[in-house]
Amino acid sequence: MQPIEWARTFCPVFYFTPDSITYPVDIGFYCRHATLCNQKGETLLREGCVTPGVLLREGYNSATNYLQIDPEVHTGQPVALEHVPIYATVTDLGDELLLQYYVIYTWNPGYEICGKHVGDHDFDLEHMSLYVNKAKRKLKRVYFSAHGASQGLWCNPQDCTFDYNTNPPRLEVFVARGSHAHYPKPKTYWRIGCLANDTCRAGSSWSPFVILMDDHTDWNVTDVGFNARYSRAPGKRGFYRHETGKSTSWFKRLCCCCCF
């Protein structure tokens, strides 16, 4: 099979909670509704003028430039979700393939803790990493990303749930309300002394169409900061084409107070 066929065949189906307030967007939508700023917060390109091609061609970089999203589009594209793509890369590792999927949100709502809002930020990039046996065309293991490189979960297929209406069955991913963290089961994952729990439920589903990226795709290689935290594109991150995430335990998830 060609890379795009692998990516389409094993693309997961995503489930959002019934009360979800944010949904994925495509990179064009994000850029159209963003303003390009410098370190002083001054506008360099106004909303409606930003495109991935312009960011790459003009050489804007994360050391001095970032995008600021219009709060009016914080919810994403819930009405047109069937038209929102997921982005993917396919890396040949010999006997197996690494299929990585990338999801973009305009806003990460964060959590309400002791009357204070914490963990909210623009541009939330989430990803999944699937390792597939090429000869058998079977999923071998999967990494569910959540909150950073040390809070995700490595799972074997037997620890996951699948949609058996397709061939091969499609991996099911449950998206936590507010944080967009990925999990293998629809339940509550207790975090940070039960103050910042991740709740997953099988509400609306998203079966995205796949857009294949490579090391030359404009938004994947641009060096601009996609928010005021200077968050970068997938191609600029450590997990790109080589999953570096670690699997956490329920105890560490419950007791860790260092990351939202």
Q: Is the pLDDT of residue 253 over 90?
A: no
pLDDT mean over 57-80: 91
Residues 115/101, Cβ–Cβ less than 8 Å: no
Which residues are 210's β-sheet partners?
86
Q: How many domains does the chain have?
A: 1
Cα 28 from Cα 99, distance rounded (Å): 23
Residue 46 lies in a domain: yes
Provide the percentage of residues in the chain whose pLDDT is more than 90.
Answer: 75
How high is the pLDDT of residue 258?
Answer: 53
User: Under DSSP, is residue 54 helix (H, G, I), strand (E, B) or coil?
Assistant: helix
Q: Is the pLDDT of residue 63 over 90?
A: no
Residues 161/6, Cβ–Cβ less than 8 Å: no
pLDDT in tens, 20-61: 999 999 999 999 999 999 989 999 999 999 999 999 999 898
Residue 214 lies in a domain: yes
How high is the pLDDT of residue 25?
Answer: 97
User: Under DSSP, is residue 92 helix (H, G, I), strand (E, B) or coil?
Assistant: strand
Residue 151 lies in a domain: yes
Residue 18 lies in a domain: yes
How high is the pLDDT of residue 259?
Answer: 53
Residue 260 lies in a domain: no
Cα 246 from Cα 228, distance rounded (Å): 26
pLDDT mean over 207-228: 95
In this structure, what are the phi and psi dihedrals at residue 41, rounded to the nearest 5 degrees? Answer: 85, 10
**Two structure tokens written together for 37:** 């700023």
**Two structure tokens written together for 4:** 């795009």
How high is the pLDDT of residue 33?
Answer: 97
Nearest to 50 by CA among 63, 64, 69, 71: 69
Cα 158 from Cα 164, distance rounded (Å): 14
pTM of the model: 0.94
Residue 129 lies in a domain: yes
pLDDT in tens, 88-142: 999 999 999 999 999 999 999 988 877 777 778 899 999 999 999 999 999 999 9
Residue 179 lies in a domain: yes
The chain-wide mean pLDDT, for the chain, equals 92
Nearest to 195 by CA among 122, 125, 117, 247: 117
Strands (E), the chain: 13-15, 34-38, 43-45, 61-69, 86-92, 96-108, 111-113, 116-118, 121-133, 138-144, 153-155, 162-163, 170-175, 182-183, 188-189, 198-199, 205-206, 210-212, 223-225
| Residue 15: burial class (beta carbons within 10 Å; 0-12, 13-18, 19+) | buried
> What's the domain range around 36?
3-255
Residue 195's pLDDT band, with cuts at 50, 70 and 90, is confident
Cα 55 from Cα 222, distance rounded (Å): 6
Residue 11 lies in a domain: yes
